Amino acid sequence: MSDNEVLDKTDEPIVGAKEIGALAHLYRAEVYRSTIWRQRLDMTTNWAVVSTGIALSVSFASATASPLPIVLVGMLTVMFLFLEARRYRYFMVWKFRARLLEMAVMVPILRGQGAQIPQDRGTALSDDYIHPRHRISSLRAMGQRLRRNYLWIFIIQYAAYLAKIWIHPIEASSIQQALERAHIGAIPGWLAVIMGTLLLIAFITLTLWAWAFQRADKTRMADYLDSEADGV
């Protein structure tokens, strides 16, 4: 037997009934983890939607109602965004592991290739268990959540705030009059509107960046989530 044949046999994955059973339980656990964190993502989104609905109801309840609840809920929604971005990073850890098990173990079995674990993918999964790490950055996670949900919530809040200061208590006759109604305490109205506009522009920019980054992503995670990739 040549040295090459010995090396080939050493590299061959050994997967028996016990190993398959262990992997099945491992896969079930990773899917459960990803499901739990997915539910947590939905929970913060629901909080943001409900809070926005309450703020709009209070602000538009009467012509003399203050637009301040919309501003306060906007700040609260920013906090929800940060919280959900953090949860999304953890969700991607479990999603990566579950998807990797599907690609490395389940797909070969379904294709009749037997229970084999490609060395590169098995090593990637074992390394992730030894040294767990987040699969995406906090900034990219924020961009993803903005693209999915939060950007639309912020746009609704921004539009509702502008509509409130324009039509209540009576329809404004000029932009200057509307800006005077937008003041928040010692903050002049024009500054409050500019700050809100700049914040919305920043969120739109972050959303577009995250979308472009995802399309051009050639990292390890993207390779394993792509069924046509050759692996790392």
Above 60 in pLDDT, residue 61? Answer: yes
Query: What average pLDDT does this structure show over 153-175?
Result: 92
Out of 25-39, 111-125, 140-154, give the one with best mean pLDDT: 140-154
pLDDT of residue 201: 97
Domain limits, the chain: 3-225
pLDDT of residue 130: 84
Query: What average pLDDT does this structure show over 170-180?
Result: 87
pLDDT of residue 75: 95
Query: What average pLDDT does this structure show over 131-147?
Result: 90
Above 80 in pLDDT, residue 108? Answer: no
Above 70 in pLDDT, residue 83? Answer: yes
Above 70 in pLDDT, residue 3? Answer: no
Look at the alpha carbons of 51, 52, 57, 62 in this order and tell me if their dihedral is positive or negative. Answer: positive
pLDDT of residue 50: 96
Q: Are 194 and 162 in contact (CB under 8 A)?
A: no
pLDDT of residue 229: 39
The token pair at 35 is: 């499901």
The C-alpha atoms of residue 7 and residue 5 are separated, in whole angstroms, by 5
Q: Are 67 and 164 in contact (CB under 8 A)?
A: yes
pLDDT of residue 114: 67
Which long-range contacts does 34-42 make (Cβ < 8 Å, 24+ apart)?
34/91, 34/94, 34/95, 34/98, 37/87, 37/90, 37/91, 37/94, 38/91, 40/87, 40/91, 41/84, 41/87, 41/88, 41/91, 41/145
The whole-chain average pLDDT of the chain stands at 82
pLDDT of residue 230: 38
Query: What average pLDDT does this structure show over 199-215?
Result: 92
Half-sphere exposure at residue 195, Cβ-oriented, CA atoms within 13 angstroms: 13
pLDDT of residue 9: 45
Query: What average pLDDT does this structure show over 123-142?
Result: 84
pLDDT of residue 118: 59
Out of 76-80, 133-137, 208-212, 214-218, give the one with best mean pLDDT: 76-80
pLDDT tens, residue by residue, 93-104: 888 888 888 877
pLDDT of residue 180: 87
Angle at 225 (CA atoms; ends 206, 126), nearest 5 degrees? 110
pTM of the predicted protein model: 0.80
The C-alpha atoms of residue 114 and residue 133 are separated, in whole angstroms, by 30
Using 50, 70 and 90 to split pLDDT, how confident is the model at 6? Answer: very low
pLDDT of residue 221: 52
The C-alpha atoms of residue 156 and residue 154 are separated, in whole angstroms, by 5
The token pair at 169 is: 């208590």
Look at the alpha carbons of 173, 179, 184, 186 in this order and tell me if their dihedral is positive or negative. Answer: negative
Above 90 in pLDDT, residue 146? Answer: yes
